[in-house]
């Protein structure tokens, strides 16, 4: 496809989207804008964009596709500004935010002018940020939710999919309200719970400093998502307020039920509670990408002696397997292995497990 693509926000998501568009449509001209001069310079240097502009008007008025890859609050503000511009009649506009209902409503003035706005949410991410972290395959096999307004023609949705075909994502079309409920259940609310667990540990750590030391194992792993951007999650909670309030009330009822079971020492129902949770969790897809970016960790049961880490990483280096993080666990209740190595993909993790098994007798667990 030929035309001009205007990318607003050249961080991890915006940069990766631009790379995917370029890969599939090399004849397209990609122009970007970002508040960070560093992101702009990196994007030009890495060939992510062809050119940059200093104003929305300069980039948007002759664009065939406009992609917004900025926080949801900024998205709402930018949509209002775009509605005031003289855009091309057949321009396509989409965003990449984590909430959709309020964003699609904010696009109302654009939609009233006949502009096709299709909300979008690529469900992939990384622990890194900025244009330098952008990757062509960031969205590969990930779910990419599209939330068009009811007035958007089917042809426009297919056109957007064609523009974004280079993401190699799995596109799903849902209503904005359905999107917010789905992501509320399996992404937004879990972040609240994880942060709540961490806050509780913080409170108890003031009474006993051993809390923070013991939390370095499994507790740290199950609450990893609490390390996400506080500003981003503040905005998500405010934008998805109604859905999350319902989920919070449902959660409180669930916890009250568990509390009652414990108070009554109801052994059978307590067992049922954990069995039901285990059954549902064990039936979840193991290799598919979901709403929360997966952590590809490999647990290795190694003896604690000098040089064991360099031994393991040496084997991985020999076979060209890249890792993103490595650490030793002290508190290992229900955690297998003393050494934990993180990888960017599940493919790398499996390769690493096979590599270590070939070279050593250490047990590896893909937990």
Q: Which tops the pLDDT comparison, 33 or 223?
A: 33
Say what the pLDDT of residue 346 is.
79
Residue 54 has pLDDT above 80, yes or no: yes
Answer whether 330's CB lies under 8 Å from 213's CB: yes
Contacts of residue 306, defined as CB under 8 A and 6 or more positions apart, other chains included, come to: none
What's the mean pLDDT when you consider all of the chain?
89
Indicate the range of 8-12, 211-215, 233-237 predicted with least confidence.
211-215
Domain 179-282 sits in CATH at 1.10.3660.10
Residues 346 and 366: their CA atoms lie apart, in Å, by 9
Q: How many CB atoms lie within 10 A of CB 312?
A: 24
Residue 286 has pLDDT above 70, yes or no: no
Residues 223 and 241: their CA atoms lie apart, in Å, by 22
Say what the pLDDT of residue 335 is.
44
Residue 242 has pLDDT above 80, yes or no: yes
- What whole-number percentage of the chain has pLDDT above 90? 62
All CATH 1.10.3660.10 domain ranges of the chain, comma separated, are: 179-282
| 91-113 tens-digit pLDDT | 999 999 999 999 999 999 999 99
Q: What pTM, to 2 d.p., does this model score?
A: 0.80
- What's the average model confidence in pLDDT over 48-61? 94
Confidence of residue 159 (pLDDT cuts 50, 70, 90): very high
Residues 309 and 84: their CA atoms lie apart, in Å, by 58
| 309-339 tens-digit pLDDT | 888 889 999 989 988 788 776 544 444 447 8
SS3 87: coil
Residues 124 and 343: their CA atoms lie apart, in Å, by 15
* Paired residues of 117 in beta bridges: 93
Domain 4-174 sits in CATH at 3.40.50.720
| 117-145 tens-digit pLDDT | 999 999 887 656 788 888 888 888 889 99
Confidence of residue 177 (pLDDT cuts 50, 70, 90): very high
Contacts of residue 328, defined as CB under 8 A and 6 or more positions apart, other chains included, come to: 309, 338, 339, 340
Query: Residue 2 — φ and ψ, nearest 5°?
Result: -100, 160
- What whole-number percentage of the chain has pLDDT above 70? 93
Domain 296-365 sits in CATH at 3.30.70.260
């Amino acid at each position: 496809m030929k035309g001009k693509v205007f990318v607003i926000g050249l961080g991890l998501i915006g940069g990766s989207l631009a790379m995917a568009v370029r890969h599939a449509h090399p004849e397209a001209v990609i122009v970007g804008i970002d508040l960070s001069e560093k992101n702009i310079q990196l994007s030009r240097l890495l060939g992510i964009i062809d050119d940059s502009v200093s104003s929305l008007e300069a980039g948007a008025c002759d664009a065939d596709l406009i992609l917004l890859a900025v926080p949801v609050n900024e998205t709402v503000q930018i949509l209002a500004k775009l509605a005031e511009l003289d855009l091309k009649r057949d321009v396509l506009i989409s965003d990449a935010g984590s909430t959709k209902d309020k964003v699609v409503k904010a696009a109302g003035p654009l939609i009233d002018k006949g502009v096709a706005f299709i909300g979008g949410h690529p469900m992939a991410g990384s622990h890194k940020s900025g244009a330098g972290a952008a990757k062509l395959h960031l969205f590969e096999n990930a779910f990419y939710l599209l939330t068009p307004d009811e007035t958007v023609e089917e042809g426009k949705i297919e056109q957007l999919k064609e523009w974004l075909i280079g993401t190699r994502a799995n596109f799903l079309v849902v209503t904005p309200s359905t999107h917010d409920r789905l992501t509320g259940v399996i992404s937004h609310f879990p972040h609240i719970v994880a942060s709540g667990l961490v806050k509780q540990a913080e409170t108890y750590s003031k009474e006993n400093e051993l809390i923070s030391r013991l939390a370095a194992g499994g507790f740290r792993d199950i609450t990893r998502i609490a390390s996400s951007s506080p500003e981003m999650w503040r905005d998500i909670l405010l934008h998805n307020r109604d859905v999350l309030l319902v989920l919070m009330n449902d959660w409180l009822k669930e916890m009250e039920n568990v509390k009652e079971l414990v108070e009554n020492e109801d052994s059978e129902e307590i067992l049922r509670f954990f069995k039901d949770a285990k059954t549902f969790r064990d039936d979840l897809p193991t290799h598919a990408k979901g709403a929360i970016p997966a952590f590809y960790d490999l647990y290795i049961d190694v003896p604690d002696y000098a040089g064991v880490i360099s031994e393991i990483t040496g084997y991985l280096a020999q076979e060209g397997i890249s890792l993103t993080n490595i650490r030793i666990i002290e508190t290992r209740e229900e955690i297998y292995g003393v050494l934990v190595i993180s990888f960017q993909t599940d493919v790398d993790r499996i390769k690493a497990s096979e590599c270590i098994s070939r070279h050593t007798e250490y047990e590896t667990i893909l937990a």
